[in-house]
Amino acid sequence: MHALSALLLGEVLLGSRALFTRTELPFEIVHTLPGRLRAKVKGVKGSADKARELQHQVGALAGVKTARADPRSGTLLLTFDDTDEVRKAIIDGLNAWTNADVGEPPPGDDLAPPRLRQQIKEAGQAANRSVLARTNGATDLQTMLALAAGAWGIKTIVSPAPIRRWQGMTLLYWSYNMLRR
């Protein structure tokens, strides 16, 4: 049971590749806040021309306030009106730009992440937004979980039962890796 919980927690908290396979996507949303989005876009890194083209195309969408594409990192930073229609237009615009650049995916090639993983990710992001709002941006969910795992690990190590010490070391290891990210 300990190994299964380690795999599940590793996937949820650390993003390991133990349970789910990941497909190379033409773009990946790296970070999002209400009205702000950063995406890593395939084909932009190292090409100032493609960065300008992407910045112009996505920046021209209705509701997009600013668009900055960085050819050094291959990312696109957007600020926009936070509505469902604008978010959908941005995703459609990124899809159109990347599909025109890399070609349409072959039939049957599923580029969407597995549904369970997507649901876990969305639930985690919602919980993180809630923690950020309640702490006025002082801490996030990942830091709180890492500190809790570290505290529990230390408590387990100093407990009188020697059989549990290895569990405490495992919790400290997870805590260290979560804080390192």
> What pLDDT, on a 0 to 100 scale, did the predictor assign at position 66?
92
Number of domains in the chain: 2
> What pLDDT, on a 0 to 100 scale, did the predictor assign at position 5?
56
In a domain, 106, yes or no: no
In a domain, 153, yes or no: yes
Q: Indicate the residue among 76, 101, 126 that finishes a domain.
A: 101
Radius of gyration of the chain (CA): 20
Q: Are residues 121 and 163 in the same domain?
A: yes
In the chain, how long is the greatest CA-to-CA distance? Answer: 64
Question: Edge-to-edge strands of the sheet including 75-80?
Answer: 27-33, 36-41, 75-80, 64-70
Strand pairing category for 27-33 and 64-70:
unpaired
Q: Which residues contact 180 (CB under 8 A, 6 or more apart)?
A: none
Give the CA count within 13 Å in the CB-facing half-sphere of 28.
11
In a domain, 173, yes or no: yes
CB 47 within 8 A of CB 72: no
Tens digit of pLDDT per residue, the chain (181 long)?
455 555 555 555 555 444 444 445 678 888 888 888 888 888 888 989 999 998 999 889 989 999 999 999 999 999 999 888 888 888 888 888 777 544 444 444 444 446 777 788 888 888 888 888 888 888 888 888 888 888 888 888 887 776 667 777 887 887 888 777 6
3-state secondary structure of 27: strand
Distance CA 19, CA 48 (A): 37
In a domain, 176, yes or no: yes
Distance CA 104, CA 119 (A): 26
Task: Report which secondary-structure segment, H or E, holds 29.
Answer: strand 27-33
Domain that holds residue 29: 24-101
Distance CA 119, CA 117 (A): 5
Distance CA 21, CA 76 (A): 25
> What pLDDT, on a 0 to 100 scale, did the predictor assign at position 8?
56
